[in-house]
């Protein structure tokens, strides 16, 4: 078995996205949640957050703060994000997606 060889696509405090060069899966750590994605699943999550409008889709919670619930592509896992968390996750995912696409273009040019 060949071990994973992750390439960091995004790294901030309590938020990291890495892409394994061997199995091609993407790992996302956000706060205390760790999730794995295929490339297509990851792109779908990025599109979902890119297209989401916090103001239109968020719901007030009992603590008085509004939260946006986002499906992750995993049937039993959703993100419940405050406005700040939504911005962090959205920006990090889009940054990672740009890097992933750039690495793919460089790899294609090298071949």
Q: What is the pTM of this model?
A: 0.88
Q: Is 33 exposed, middle or buried (0-12, 13-18, 19+ CB in 10 A)?
A: exposed
pLDDT at 22 over 90: no
Q: At what angle do helices 39-51 and 83-110 cross, to 10 degrees?
A: 140
Q: Average pLDDT of the chain?
A: 92
What was the pLDDT predicted at 1? Answer: 60
Q: What are the boundaries of each domain within the chain?
A: 6-110
- Cα–Cα distance between 8 and 25 in angstroms, integer? 12
pLDDT tier at 7 (50, 70, 90 boundaries)?
very high
**SS3 assignment, position 105:** helix
């Amino acid at each position: 078995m060949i071990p994973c060889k992750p390439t960091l696509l995004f790294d901030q405090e309590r938020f990291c996205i890495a892409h394994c060069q061997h199995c091609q899966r993407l790992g996302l750590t956000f706060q205390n949640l760790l999730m794995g994605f295929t490339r297509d699943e990851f792109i779908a999550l990025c599109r979902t957050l890119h297209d989401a409008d916090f103001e239109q889709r968020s719901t007030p919670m009992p603590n008085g703060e509004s939260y946006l619930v986002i499906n992750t592509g995993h049937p039993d896992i959703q993100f419940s994000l405050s406005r700040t968390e939504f911005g962090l996750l959205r920006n990090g995912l889009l940054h990672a997606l740009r890097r992933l696409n750039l690495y793919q273009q460089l790899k294609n040019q090298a071949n």
